[in-house]
């Protein structure tokens, strides 16, 4: 069964869905529809808020350097922020354009010296908000992509990395890994996540564009990065095992997906928090006056590590 791009974007690990509203009767949500999916819980709104927050912090961190700047590129990165309805309608437009299943990376990183040329090309393409709706076969968009030195797929987690129970523990030989180094099966530690369903599209994108692709995973207090090639090596060599998890979409539909949780030991330190976000109360209200509260992420800042800067400097 094909999944709408909006559903895929806001799908939440079912094991993490903890916020329920038992006081509401089930039929109260039947009128809570929009084109025609429905937001059934605060978890999905919180995921939307956290995802946009983390990408904004990464863009700010890159843009605060002297040598580089980041451009939001994928549909989730350039979609309207602060308005979940506008966010959903953006994905509707993506489906209408026939690009709902096309994989576009979240961020493109450029050298600061190309800022003027990149700005000119983006203007010709109609502005940043139009980038997800343009085919990568378009010559102007191809020129823009080829100026990038690194492409980034963004992930985020609702964890403070340093307080995770197995943070700072060393990898040890594991029987299930046939003596290869790893952690106990149920270890709780920072990881850089790659979905199985994304591997082939990411592999194809990197091959066609010839731009190095990295996964950047943001936690509350830290961020880690892993090159896509290194992630593939870890999988191929059996150092990262597949994990099957159940994901739930805003419509309520559930799917089983294979993901790979790469230990942060294999990643590079991408950034550390200079200021953590504030969690503030927010809500949306439907046309009938139903209130759906959620927690919104606001503020905070990240600073790129020396490792990350060295990587960017070595990519051009």
| Per-domain boundaries in the chain | 5-313
pLDDT at 229: 97
For the residues of 100-137, what is the DSSP string, one character each?
TT----SEEEEEGGGHHHHHHHHHHTT-GGGGGGS-TT
Contact indicator for 172, 127 with CB cutoff of 8 Å: no
- CA–CA separation, 313 and 307 (whole Å): 10
Nearest 5°: phi and psi at 104?
-120, 135
C-alpha Rg value of the chain to the nearest Å: 20
Quote the tokens at residue 268: 């590079």
Quote the tokens at residue 264: 């942060």
Q: Is 196 exposed, middle or buried (0-12, 13-18, 19+ CB in 10 A)?
A: middle
Question: What count of Cα atoms within 13 Å lies in the side-chain half-sphere of residue 236?
Answer: 7
pLDDT at 82: 64
Nearest 5°: phi and psi at 280?
-120, 150
Query: Which residues of the chain carry a pLDDT beneath 70?
Result: 1-42, 44, 78-84, 97-100, 102, 250-252, 286-287
- CA–CA separation, 294 and 29 (whole Å): 16
User: What is the end-to-end Cα distance of the chain in Å, rounded?
Assistant: 42
Task: Return the DSSP state at 276.
Answer: P
* Bond before 36 cis per omega within 30 degrees: yes
Provide the H-helix boundaries in 100-177. 115-124, 139-147
Contact indicator for 202, 103 with CB cutoff of 8 Å: yes
Residue 269, classed as helix, strand or coil, is strand
**pTM of the model as a whole:** 0.85
Three-state secondary structure readout of 181-212: EECCCCCCCCEEEEEHHHHHHHHHHHHHHCCC
pLDDT digits (tens, 9 = 90+) for 8-22: 666 666 555 444 444
Task: Return the DSSP state at 37.
Answer: B
Contact indicator for 261, 245 with CB cutoff of 8 Å: no
Q: Is 289 exposed, middle or buried (0-12, 13-18, 19+ CB in 10 A)?
A: exposed
Query: In the beta sheet, which residues pair with residue 260?
Result: 194, 242
Distance of CA 175 to the CA centre of its chain: 32
């Amino acid at each position: 069964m094909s999944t709408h791009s909006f559903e895929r974007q806001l799908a939440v690990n079912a094991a993490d869905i903890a916020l329920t509203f038992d006081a509401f009767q089930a039929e109260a949500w039947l009128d809570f529809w929009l084109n025609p999916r429905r937001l059934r819980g605060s978890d999905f709104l919180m995921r939307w808020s956290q995802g946009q927050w983390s990408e904004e912090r990464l863009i700010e961190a890159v843009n605060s350097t002297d040598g580089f700047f980041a451009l939001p590129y994928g549909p989730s990165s350039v979609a309207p922020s602060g308005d979940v309805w506008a966010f959903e309608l953006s994905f509707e437009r993506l489906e209408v354009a026939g690009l709902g299943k096309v994989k576009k990376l979240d961020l493109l990183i450029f050298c600061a010296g190309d800022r003027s040329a990149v700005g000119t090309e983006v203007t010709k393409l109609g502005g940043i908000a139009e980038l997800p709706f343009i085919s990568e076969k378009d010559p102007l968009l191809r020129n823009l992509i080829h100026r990038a030195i690194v492409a980034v797929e963004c992930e985020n987690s609702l964890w403070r990395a340093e307080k995770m129970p197995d943070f700072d523990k060393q990898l040890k030989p594991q029987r299930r890994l046939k003596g290869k180094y790893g952690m106990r099966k149920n270890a709780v530690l920072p990881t850089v996540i790659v979905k199985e369903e994304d591997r082939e599209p990411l592999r194809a994108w990197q091959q066609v564009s010839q731009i190095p692709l990295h996964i950047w995973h943001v936690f509350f207090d830290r961020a880690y990065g892993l090159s896509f090639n290194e992630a593939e090596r870890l999988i191929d060599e059996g150092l990262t095992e597949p994990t099957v998890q159940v994901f739930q979409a805003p419509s309520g539909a559930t799917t089983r997906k294979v993901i790979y949780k790469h230990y942060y030991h294999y990643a590079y330190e991408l950034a550390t928090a200079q200021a953590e976000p504030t969690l503030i109360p927010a809500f949306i209200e439907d046309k009938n006056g139903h209130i759906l509260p959620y927690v919104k992420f606001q503020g905070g800042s990240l600073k790129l590590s020396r490792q990350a800067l060295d990587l960017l400097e070595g990519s051009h």
